[in-house]
A and B are shown apart, each in its own frame.
Chain A
Amino acid sequence: MSEFFAMGGYAAFVWSSYGLAAIVLWLNWYLPRRTHQQVLSQLKRRHSKQSNLDRNK
């Protein structure tokens, strides 16, 4: 197992590449997801405000 992580002496190069890829790909997945959810909750708030106004008319 430790031999696997040592990567024949190239551990720093191999694992930093894979780590970097993991971070960048995760960010590209997470940030748009968060934006989407923010827009959704904004719309929800607006919608409920609107229906409250309609009710009080």
Chain B
Amino acid sequence: MFLWFHKFASPPHFYRIAGKWIPWLTALLLLLLVTGLYGGLVLAPPDYQQGDSYRIIFIHVPAAWMSLFIYVAMAFCGIVVIVWRMKLAEVVLICSAPIGASFTFLALATGSIWGKPMWGTWWVWDARLTSELILLFLYLGVIGLHNAIEDKRIAARAVAILAIVGVINVPIIHYSVEWWNSLHQGPTVTKFDKPSIHWSMLIPLLLMALAFQVYYVLALFQSCRGELLKRERNSKWVAELNGGDDV
């Protein structure tokens, strides 16, 4: 298992495998998006309180889940970077940051667009919204710190520490709607008893969540391939790659 992982994590091997996966991931993503959007925008009935405006949920909630998931993934990579100095973990960590920042931005922006007709305001400084905004700044901090340090191996260790420390924000975001009074509604899916959302809305929501998950892997693979090539341009495997047509 560890041997397999070691082989998978070597830059040339990852580069090749990721390249092979990209078309399949793209096909899977399109399939999930089409079914999820059809279920969410066409099949699901309007909400009895919010009318059709609730359909923003199919973007908002999966984006918010991804914003947390990607940060935890980055913190995990951060531990691997600090403990094992693994090159691939460095690349995955830094390539995840823009994708995570984008999902955080989407969660905030769509939440704001949803908040206007439902709450009557674009923004309130309550716990959920503020902690999610801090998450956006953490992502931007990771990107900025990485850009500021010339030596990318040192930069990777610096952003690893930032990613690990910042992970404290993740449970705060998740429990913010229970710990503090908020305009934001409580969880409707991740409750221990039955989710308080009808299956006709739950299924497209889960499909969209899966689609965003696949999208993350796809965008990550693509961006890691570019970053690996840039970092390893003087290595033997990149030269060999250029010798053949297999690029």
Q: Please list the residues of chain A having a beta carbon within 8 angstroms of any beta carbon in chain B.
A: 4, 7-10, 13-14, 16-18, 20-21, 24-25, 27-29, 32-33, 35-36, 39-40, 43-44, 47
Contacts and interface: CB of A to CB of B under 8 A. Distances in A.
B229 A32 contact: no
16 contacts: A9-B52, A13-B56, A13-B113, A13-B117, A17-B60, A17-B109, A20-B113, A21-B59, A21-B106, A21-B110, A28-B98, A29-B222, A32-B222, A32-B226, A35-B230, A36-B223
B52 A8 contact: yes
Contacts, number: 88
Contacts of A13: 53, 56, 113-114, 116-117
Interface majority SS (helix, strand, loop, mixed), chain B? helix
A9 B106 contact: no
B55 A14 contact: yes
Interface of B: 41-42, 46, 51-53, 55-56, 59-60, 63, 95, 98-99, 102, 105-106, 109-110, 113-114, 116-117, 215, 218-219, 222-223, 225-226, 229-230, 233, 238-239, 241-243, 247
